Amino acid sequence: QLLLQESGPGLVRPSETLSLTCTVSGGSISSRSYYWDWIRQPPGKGLEWIGSVYYTGNTYYNPSLKSRVTISVDTSNNQFSLNLTAVTAADTALYYCAKTWGWRRPYDYWGQGALVTVSS
């Protein structure tokens, strides 16, 4: 059974960088066809796709966040990470990591979510 687990600070100061890591267990992050994504959900609101990474390091970002987002993969530790720079209160959200089983496929595995609050 594949498990995804987000980790990182729950509180980030405005203008600083939000950093989260997703650790994958029960399977290899280097499996072909799988894509590894970050999605966020502000409290009480809908879902926003942040971006996606393939095990080769290829990335795809939401244009609305592209100037501030970096997603990277660490195959040796079976992890992938999110960095979001210059955060504001609007970046306060539950951040999920998730996996798809292929191109244009939905998310079949999710982490439990990491609440990140942006506040001074």
Partner 1 sequence: DIQMTQSPSSVSASVGDRVTITCRASQGISSWLAWYQQKPGKAPKVLIYTATSLLSGVPSRFSGSGSGTDFTLTISSLQPEDFATYFCQQTDSFPLTFGGGTKVEIK
Q: Which spans of this chain sit near partner 1 (rule: CB under 8 A)?
A: 37, 46-49, 52, 60-64, 96, 98, 100, 104-108, 110-113
What is d(CA 12, CA 87) in angstroms, rounded to the nearest whole number?
A: 8
**CB nearer to partner 1: pick between 15 and 47:** 47
Residue with tokens 């966040």: 65
- In the complex, least distance from residue 34 CB atom to partner 1, rounded to whole angstroms: 14
Tokens, residue 2: 């594949």
- Sign of the C-alpha dihedral, residues 101, 104, 109, 111? positive
Q: How far is the CB of 41 from partner 1 (least distance, A)?
A: 9
Shortest separation between residue 114's beta carbon and partner 1, angstroms: 11
Residue 7 has a CB neighbour count (10 Å cut-off) of 14
Regarding beta strands 69-74 and 59-61, do their DSSP bridges make them parallel or antiparallel, or are they unpaired?
unpaired
Please identify, using beta-carbon distances, which residue of 49 and 55 lies nearer to partner 1: 49
With respect to partner 1, which residue has the nearer C-beta, 5 or 19?
5
